[in-house]
Amino acid sequence: MISGATRVFGLIGHPVARSLSPAMHNRWFQETGFDGVYVTFDVAPDRSTAIRGALDTLNISGANVTVPHKSTLIDRLDSSTAMAQGVGAVNVVVRDGARWIGHNVDGAGFCSGFEAEFGALHGRRVAVMGVGGAGRAVAAACALYGAERLGLFTRDVSRAADFRERASSLWPTARWDVASVDEPLAGFDIVIWASSLAAPALDLGRCGPDVIACDLNYWDASSALLGAARHQGVRTQDGLPMLVHQGALSYELFTGLRVDPAPVLASFL
């Protein structure tokens, strides 16, 4: 039962009405007996600078952060983890007294969800389409999980080159490449659409025979990328595993409690 002592958590972004995060976190609150509630906060893009003050004023305990605020909020926090600093974006903020700590578990959520279905990322060659907050986080986490090569495909090649320079020093075990999103894909084991824009159909014929196509936009049931990939006989994964696995990591940061993502993921399928 919600009371005056119930701790409030939420999702900050725009738009957020279709998010599955409230159902996921509120289920975990109920299952673990934690006195919390999770809601959505739809914050327009031009209100990013007001988020930190609102968190303080309303005594929010923690929040997930999604587009378009992942990269703008990080500079208004008191500290952030090495991963968040490296990718320049946060997707979780947690109150520590009067201080706010930023985390980024987007990439770890993707990798955990991917490996649960397809096995280890170690030694694989990964193409990431889009270098926004989610794309950078996923690429960095894939490097930490042992990917051999990271191809960053984007329309803003200079922006990607700046990230490659930072990433290759922070995560040097992988080879980092940058290319225009219009260039053909060749020689990759995994292709990940990481842009918030709808994924187009891509020709995966020049990738390996065991290539796997992923679209992080879990709400796009008619993803052109995944539809075309299946037509080409390619295995696919939508964004639901990433959502739930990063949610479980977020929940642990919020509460200190670990939860199993598998039952929630199964309920969403």
Lowest mean pLDDT among 11-25, 119-133, 208-222, 242-256: 208-222
175 is catalytic: no
- Domains of the chain (ranges, CATH numbers): 7-104+242-268 (3.40.50.10860), 107-238 (3.40.50.720)
| pLDDT (average), residues 215-243 | 91
| pLDDT (average), residues 206-222 | 88
- List pLDDT tens digits, range 240-269: 999 999 999 999 999 999 999 999 999 998
**What is the per-residue pLDDT for 42?**
98
**What is the per-residue pLDDT for 122?**
97
Res. 197: pLDDT tops 90: no
| pLDDT (average), residues 20-30 | 98
Percentage of the chain beyond pLDDT 70 is 100
CA distances from 263 to 66, 249, 251 (A): 24, 15, 15
Calculate ∠ Cα 87-242-218, nearest 5°. Answer: 110
* Burial 195-208, CB ≥16 within 10 A → b, else e: beeebeebebeebe
Cβ-contact 63, 11 below 8 angstroms: yes
In the structure, what pLDDT confidence band is assigned to residue 208 with cuts at 50, 70 and 90? confident
Strand partners of residue 103: 92
Tokens of 193: 């659409």
| pLDDT (average), residues 205-234 | 89
- List pLDDT tens digits, range 116-135: 999 999 999 999 999 999 99
Spatial distance between the Cα atoms of 150 and 164, rounded to a whole number of angstroms: 9
| pLDDT (average), residues 148-164 | 93
- List pLDDT tens digits, range 37-73: 999 999 999 999 999 999 999 999 999 999 999 999 9
| pLDDT (average), residues 192-214 | 90
69: alpha, beta or left? (left if phi > 0; alpha if psi -120 to 50): alpha
Task: Please give the helix or strand (H or E) that residue 93 lies within, else none.
Answer: strand 92-96
Spatial distance between the Cα atoms of 198 and 243, rounded to a whole number of angstroms: 17
CA distances from 159 to 146, 186, 222 (A): 24, 22, 29
12, 34, 41, 70: which one is catalytic?
70
